[in-house]
């Protein structure tokens, strides 16, 4: 596995890979089994798999959230090597934003809803850094988890809108045994908060009405950003207070025509 700390190093390597199919998994590190599932799929479907690890500051509307985002680079690199990753990009801010973030990619509709309504500028940062990474890696396929389904949709549609020659692949949510969607931010939960966190998905599956779910989550100890059913999918974002920080959790699931969630029908494990 080769590590690339400079764009020149990667670009020289990329020029030698034109006869290979490339899969790409962009991450912010603190890898977990959800990331593993993306990497494993890329390894299975491509000749070469590229992983990026970069905590992107432009997508954090809350400086405290950026400061407390978990970082464990050596463990991530060891895990990536064990999974068969061929190349890891390890850029810094100066490399990713030589323009100082003068040039930005914005979306004017869906990015203003759900997480976008509560995190000003978040998706502009996401779309900008993902476009930069896709342009650098030039993959045939790029893999994104469905846990952040809004993000997946925006990236998929951005690639189509700008005629980018890449297949944006959605991969299913990977959950803990108790149903909590795996997330790097789960590392910031202490034991009491972790017990409460499991109620997020449980209540999503048990309660069909969005307003009732908001009340139930608040009663369980969550600070609820939103519960919204939109285009056949239910989206939830809520936070838990842990010591001096707030840990934000998101989840989503498809909704059947009768209003039940797919999970209630046991059609998705």
Is it the case that residue 10 has pLDDT exceeding 90? yes
> Which one is the CATH code of 184-254: 3.90.1640.30, 3.40.50.10860, 3.30.1300.10, 3.40.50.720?
3.30.1300.10
Q: Return all residues near 196 (Cβ < 8 A) that are at least 6 apart.
A: 220, 221, 222, 240
Pairing state between β 233-242 and 223-230 = antiparallel
- C-alpha separations of 244 from 23, 144, 255 in Å: 39, 31, 36
Q: What pLDDT shows up at residue 267? A: 33
Catalytic residue from among 4, 32, 35, 122: 35
For the chain, strand residue ranges (E) read 2-4, 22-27, 48-53, 87-89, 141-145, 167-171, 223-230, 233-242, 245-254
Q: Is 35 a known active-site residue?
A: yes
Per-residue pLDDT band for 40 (boundaries 50, 70, 90) equals: very high
User: If 0-12 CB within 10 Å is exposed, 13-18 middle and 19+ buried, where does residue 148 land?
Assistant: buried
180-227 residue pLDDT tens: 999 999 999 999 999 999 999 999 999 999 999 999 999 999 999 999
**Distance between CA atoms of 122 and 114, rounded to whole angstroms?**
11
Whether 64 shows a pLDDT value over 60: the answer reads yes
Q: What does the block give as tokens for 120?
A: 């000003």
Q: What is the pLDDT of residue 244?
A: 82
- As beta bridge partners, residue 26 has 52
Q: How far apart are CA 51 and CA 14, in angstroms?
A: 13
Q: Which of 200, 192, 169, 174 has its CA nearest to residue 32?
A: 174
Mean pLDDT of 8-32: 97
Closest-CA residue to 194 (of 218, 213, 221, 172) = 221
Please say whether the beta carbons of 72 and 44 come within 8 A.
no
The domains of the chain are located at: 2-171, 184-254
131-177 pLDDT, tens per residue?
Answer: 999 999 999 999 999 999 999 999 999 999 999 999 999 999 999 99
Say which range, 19-28, 61-70, 224-233, has the weakest mean pLDDT. 61-70
Q: What is the mean pLDDT of residues 58-76?
A: 94
CA 122 to chain CA centroid, Å, is: 12
Q: Reduced to 3 states, what is the DSSP secondary structure of residue 191?
A: helix
Q: What is the CATH number of domain 2-171?
A: 3.40.50.620
- Mean pLDDT computed over every residue of the chain: 94
pLDDT-derived band at 232, boundaries 50, 70, 90: very high
What is the reported pLDDT for 257? Answer: 61
235 beta partners: 228, 252
Gap between the Cα atoms of 78 and 187, Å rounded: 18
Question: 256-267 pLDDT, tens per residue?
Answer: 765 554 444 333
């Amino acid at each position: 596995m080769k590590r690339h700390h400079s764009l020149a190093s990667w670009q020289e390597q990329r020029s030698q890979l034109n006869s290979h199919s490339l899969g790409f998994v962009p991450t912010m590190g603190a890898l977990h089994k959800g990331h593993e599932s993306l990497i494993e799929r890329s390894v299975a479907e491509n000749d070469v798999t590229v992983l990026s690890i970069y905590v992107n500051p432009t997508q954090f509307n809350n400086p405290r959230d950026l400061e407390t985002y978990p970082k464990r680079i050596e463990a991530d690199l060891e895990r990536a090597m064990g999974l068969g990753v061929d190349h890891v990009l390890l850029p810094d801010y100066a490399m990713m934003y030589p323009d100082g973030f003068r040039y930005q990619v914005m979306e004017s509709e869906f990015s203003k809803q759900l997480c976008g309504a509560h995190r000003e500028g978040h998706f502009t940062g996401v779309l900008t850094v993902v476009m930069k990474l896709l342009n650098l890696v030039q993959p045939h396929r790029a893999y994104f988890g469905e846990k952040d389904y809004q993000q997946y949709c925006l990236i998929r549609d951005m690639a189509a809108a700008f005629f980018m020659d890449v297949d944006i692949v959605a991969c299913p949510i990977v959950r803990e045994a108790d149903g909590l969607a795996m997330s790097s931010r789960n590392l910031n939960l202490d034991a009491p908060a972790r017990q409460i966190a499991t109620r997020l998905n449980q209540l999503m599956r048990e309660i069909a009405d969005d307003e009732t779910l908001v009340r139930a989550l608040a009663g369980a100890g969550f600070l609820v950003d939103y519960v919204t059913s939109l285009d056949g999918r239910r989206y939830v974002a809520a936070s838990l207070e842990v010591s001096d920080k707030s840990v934000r959790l998101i989840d989503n699931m498809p909704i059947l025509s009768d209003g039940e969630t797919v999970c209630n029908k046991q059609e998705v494990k």
